[in-house]
Amino acid sequence: MRRVGIYTHDFKFYHDIVRDLKKWNIPFFSIVDLYSIPKDISVILSSSKDQFNLPEQIKADNSLEAIRMSISLLLYKDRFVNIIIGIDPGPRPGIAVMADNVLIEAYECPTIEKIKSEILDISRSYMYEYMTIKIGNGDRPNRDLIINEIKNIAPLMIVNEENTSTPHKIHDNALSAARISLINDKYDVNRVPLKFSRKNIYEREFTTLRSIIYS
């Protein structure tokens, strides 16, 4: 298992990166002595305000950007080949990031007005060669608003989102977005676990960042 290291003189960045690495379930190590860095540290995260330069270092303006920039290195890659952003259209759109068939993150955007900045942040933070956006064909009024916001960020596909809300009684916008990211025609309902529950549903249905890190 590889870990990310943290070395910074920016207290706010340190506080934020520790909080967010815990939230993402990414193992980390706070570096005190630069001459005694554990061998399993694959990348060192620092603030863009830090004046020093280190090998295998990533400098970022904020903690989320730093984490996204480090993910490919954590998975033994300089960069991902393909990143697909899945979007479940609606007043609170679901957003998911699938990188080389690994689900990295999935969450709900609070408003349509914020979706452009969210997709731009994703497109600017991850290390990759190609990016595609897939948006479900449901909720046409909100879908069209979203498309108008993001149409110039990356190549965009409208896909058949049939079955991505299964089962409807436990609908989850982020989960639907993750399913949409994998669609070529329409979602295969057979991918849904027979015993469906919210607990660990992402790990049961997808190859996730967490499942790889802790495998």
CATH number of residue 182's parent domain: 3.30.420.140
Count of domains observed in the chain = 2
Task: State pTM to two decimals.
Answer: 0.93
pLDDT tier, 200 (very low <50, low <70, confident <90, very high otherwise): confident
Phi and psi, residue 212, nearest 5°: -75, -45
- Do 86 and 135 reside in the same domain of the chain? yes
Same domain, 95 and 181: yes
**End residue of a domain, out of 74, 108, 135:** 74
- pLDDT of amino acid 101: 95
Say yes or no: 86 and 69 in one domain: no
The tens digit of pLDDT for each residue in 159-198 reads: 999 989 887 666 789 999 999 999 988 888 777 776 666 6
Which among 180, 202, 173 is positioned nearest to 210, based on CA atoms? 202
Query: 93 and 61: one domain?
Result: no
Helix (H, G, I), strand (E, B) or coil at 183: coil
Same domain flag for 91 and 105: yes
- 3 state DSSP class of 102: strand
Select from 41, 74, 107 the last residue of a domain.
74
What is the domain range of residue 59?
Answer: 3-74
Q: Give residues with Cβ within 8 angstroms of 114, minimum separation 6.
A: none
Q: What is the pLDDT of residue 22?
A: 97
Residue at a domain's end among 51, 74, 97: 74
Shared domain for 90 and 159, answered yes or no, is yes
- Examine the domain organization and report whether 18 and 111 are in the same domain: no
Is the same domain home to 97 and 152? yes
